[in-house]
Every structure is written in structure tokens, then in C-alpha cells.
């Protein structure tokens, strides 16, 4: 076991030449995955930190690189092995890059033990291993998931906690979004099974002018039951966070907003024929409001079956 006074010694001189580990939050976007998948990842991290708090150094090196250790544990890290799975998605095998980074961290840890900076032992408390990773100046790409683990040790806003939201708050938000997405899917199924009814649709006469987002905007109007901007925006935001194509899953601060409501922008992929190669664009509240106003002025078609 590593005791707190060892880290006082580390801070006072043994590792005085090392800079404190820093990680940009841009490298760890909270909503890079659908809500349910992201929530499952956070729960796996919590399991290893709180409910399985003793790790071998090899297991710790794997975890901070986003790799699930084998069920029977391990004391070294092979070059390859199908038994190693991704912490983000257990259906995917660990990559060579992840395993290579984990071997580097393990070797560095064992070097510190050999030099007497850390006490020897077959296992270590999760808290102690994570704290060592943080203060020993590990290269960020050798500990890509370390910031996610540090969230369980430090408070939001502290130098060691690169996120503005606590894990509990993020999990609560993710569960609400996942439930909303499930409800939306249920509504879609119910509508598909319901008798066909008359629907008023506004379409452009020229199909070449159809925008990438037009189908999703129509879907959002149908889900909201109105073409009022506010409710339609909320439905589109759910689709964006769920990565419904062409949305990328990114919601960022709008570039140069002209409307006070334009604080968020939904990022989506544009059709490649519009520019050379693939590119992205953003939809703001104000832009959506303009689209809906133009839509309401187009000739309406009534279709029945």
C-alpha cells in the first residue's frame, strides 16, 4: 500500500522537476457518445475506482488508457490479446496504441518502485495509483482516460478536475437525455403504427434546394406537434446529442451570435458536393427561426391516404 506521506516526499523533491499533469477539456468532450453509452462508461469508471479499489500496477496502467483489465487480473501487459476490451465500449478490442501506452506507464511505475520513490507491492489502492499518475508528469497520450478517473478524487473547478460538472450531475443529465431519446423513439414507433392521417407539409418546388437538415427539421416538427421555434429547437437538440445524421454529436458555443438566444450551436456535416471534401456547419436558434419562418410562407400541400 502507498501511504500519503510518500506523496509529500514526492512533492518536496523526488519529483520536483516534473510539471503537474494538465489535460484540455477539449480532448474529453462529455457528449462525444450517445447519452446511454456515455453514462455506462462513467459507471464502469466508478466501479473500478470505488467498488474494486485495489489494482495491480498493470491493471492501473490499462485503466488510465481506457482498457478493461482481464477478469482474473494481470501483472504485465502483453503486446496483443483479445481478452483486453475498450472501457468506452466493451464490444471493441483494445488497440495496439492503448496497450503500448499502458506498457510505458507500467514501466515508469516500476522504475519509481526500483528507485525507492514508491513502496513495492503486488497491488495498490486506486487513489494512490491515480495520484501518482497525476503528479509524475505522464504524457497525456499515455494516460488518455486519467482525467475521467481524477473526477472521482477531486472537486469540479480544481486544477486536477478538468470538467466543470461533477460525475453525479453529468450522470443525472445523461439519464434524462437517454430517457428523452427513448421516449422519442417510442413516439416514433407509435406514430408508425397509428392510422395514417392528413399531414400538412411545406416543400420547396426545386428538390436541389433541399438542405441537409430539412428532413430532421420536419421530423422535429412532427415530434413537437408544432412548428414553433422553441419546441422544435429542443427536439433538434435531442437529435444532435444523439448523433442523428447529419449531426455530429457536438453542441458548442455559437460563432459570433447576433441573437441572445444563439448561445448554443448544433454542429452538422454538410453535403460534400457543396464544397471540396467533407466539412461541417452549425445551426443556431436564430437560424432555425429563420428557416421556420420561410417554411411557413411556402405553398402548402395536403396529402392524405
pLDDT, tens only, 30-43: 445 688 898 899 99
User: Does 274 or 37 have the greater pLDDT score?
Assistant: 37
Distances (CA, A) of 23 to 159, 161, 182: 10, 9, 33
185 close to 223: Cβ distance less than 8 angstroms: no
Phi, psi of 243, deg, nearest 5: 65, 35
Which of the four pLDDT bands, split at 50, 70 and 90, describes residue 24? Answer: very low
Question: Tens digit of pLDDT for each residue in 224-237?
Answer: 888 888 888 888 88
Query: Which tens digit of pLDDT belongs to each residue from 144-159?
Result: 999 999 988 888 878 7
Q: Describe the chain by its helix, strand, coil percentages, rounded to 5.
A: 50, 10, 40
What pLDDT is recorded for position 185? 72
pLDDT in tens, 112-142: 999 999 989 999 999 999 999 999 888 888 8
What gap in Å lies between CA 9 and CA 144, rounded to an integer?
26
C-alpha cell at 173: 443529465
Please count the helices (runs of H) and the strands (runs of E) in the chain.
10, 9
The more confident residue out of 67 and 288 is: 67
Q: Express each pLDDT in 166-210 by its tens digit.
A: 888 888 888 888 788 777 776 666 566 655 444 444 444 444 445
Express each pLDDT in 76-104 by its tens digit. 998 776 788 999 999 999 999 999 999 99
78, three cell numbers: 502483453
Cα gap 7→124, rounded to integer Å: 14
191, 184 contact by CB (below 8 A): no
Decide: 101 and 65 in contact? Cβ < 8 Å. yes
Instruction: Record the cell numbers describing residue 261, joined without a space.
Output: 438566444
Amino acid at each position: 500500500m502507498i501511504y500519503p506521506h510518500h506523496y509529500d516526499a514526492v512533492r518536496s523533491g523526488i519529483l520536483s522537476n516534473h510539471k503537474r499533469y494538465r489535460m484540455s477539456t477539449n480532448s474529453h468532450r462529455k457528449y462525444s457518445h450517445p447519452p446511454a453509452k456515455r453514462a455506462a462508461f462513467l459507471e464502469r469508471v466508478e466501479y473500478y475506482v470505488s467498488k474494486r479499489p485495489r489494482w495491480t500496477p498493470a491493471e492501473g496502467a490499462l485503466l488510465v488508457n481506457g482498457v478493461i483489465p482481464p477478469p482474473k487480473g494481470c501483472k504485465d501487459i502483453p503486446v496483443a490479446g483479445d481478452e483486453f476490451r475498450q472501457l468506452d465500449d466493451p464490444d471493441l478490442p483494445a488497440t495496439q496504441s492503448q496497450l503500448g501506452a499502458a506498457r510505458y506507464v507500467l514501466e515508469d511505475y516500476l522504475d519509481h518502485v526500483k528507485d525507492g520513490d514508491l513502496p513495492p507491492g503486488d497491488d495498490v489502492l486506486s487513489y494512490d495509483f491515480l495520484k501518482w499518475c497525476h503528479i509524475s508528469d505522464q504524457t497525456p497520450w499515455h494516460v488518455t482516460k486519467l482525467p475521467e478517473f481524477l473526477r472521482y478524487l477531486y472537486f469540479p473547478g480544481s486544477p486536477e478536475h478538468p470538467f466543470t460538472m461533477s460525475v453525479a450531475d453529468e450522470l443525472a443529465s445523461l439519464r434524462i437525455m437517454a430517457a428523452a431519446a427513448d421516449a422519442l423513439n417510442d413516439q416514433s414507433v407509435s406514430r408508425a403504427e397509428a392510422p395514417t392521417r392528413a399531414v400538412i407539409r411545406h416543400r420547396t418546388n426545386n428538390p436541389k434546394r433541399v438542405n441537409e437538415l430539412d428532413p430532421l427539421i420536419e421530423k422535429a416538427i412532427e415530434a413537437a406537434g408544432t412548428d414553433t421555434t422553441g419546441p422544435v429547437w429542443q427536439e433538434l437538440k435531442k437529435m444532435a446529442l444523439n448523433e442523428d445524421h447529419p449531426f455530429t454529436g457536438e453542441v458548442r458555443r455559437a460563432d459570433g451570435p447576433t441573437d441572445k438566444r444563439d448561445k448554443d450551436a448544433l454542429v452538422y456535416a454538410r453535403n460534400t458536393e457543396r464544397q471540396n471534401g467533407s466539412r461541417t456547419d452549425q445551426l443556431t436558434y436564430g437560424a432555425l427561426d429563420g428557416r421556420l419562418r420561410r417554411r411557413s410562407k411556402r405553398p402548402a400541400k395536403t396529402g392524405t391516404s
